[in-house]
Amino acid sequence: DALDPERLIQCPYNKYHQIRACRFPYHLVKCRKSYPEVAKELATCPFNARHLVPQADLSDHIKKCNDKGFIEQDIVNESSGSQREQMNAVSTWQAPPCDEDWET
């Protein structure tokens, strides 16, 4: 189950590290500092910062990344939602009453 916070994930910096999903982001920060040479060789997925892949494989990962669909769907929903809001928006603003008479 991908949503299970207790599932184990392999660390991209050290394959012998098996980390619970709920602790994975914290572990990545710690291991990045411990393995700076490995960190230089890895690239971060633009769709999910938890995806660290070899730089040479990044373009292939981006094409296949499961999280890309979520981001694309959010963009579609956001743009269609704002268009709908703009079309349905009716101004309720009214000018405040004014006692000034510029003619006098």
So where are the chain's domains?
Answer: 8-66
pLDDT digits (tens, 9 = 90+) for 67-83: 887 777 777 777 765 55
Interval 30-66: pLDDT, tens = 999 999 999 999 999 998 999 999 999 999 999 999 8
Half-sphere exposure of 51 (CA within 13 A, CB side): 16
CA dihedral defined by 96, 101, 103, 104, rounded to 10 degrees? Answer: -170
Match 């012998």 to its residue by tokens: 16
pTM: 0.64
Residues 21 and 7 sit within 8 Å (Cβ to Cβ): yes
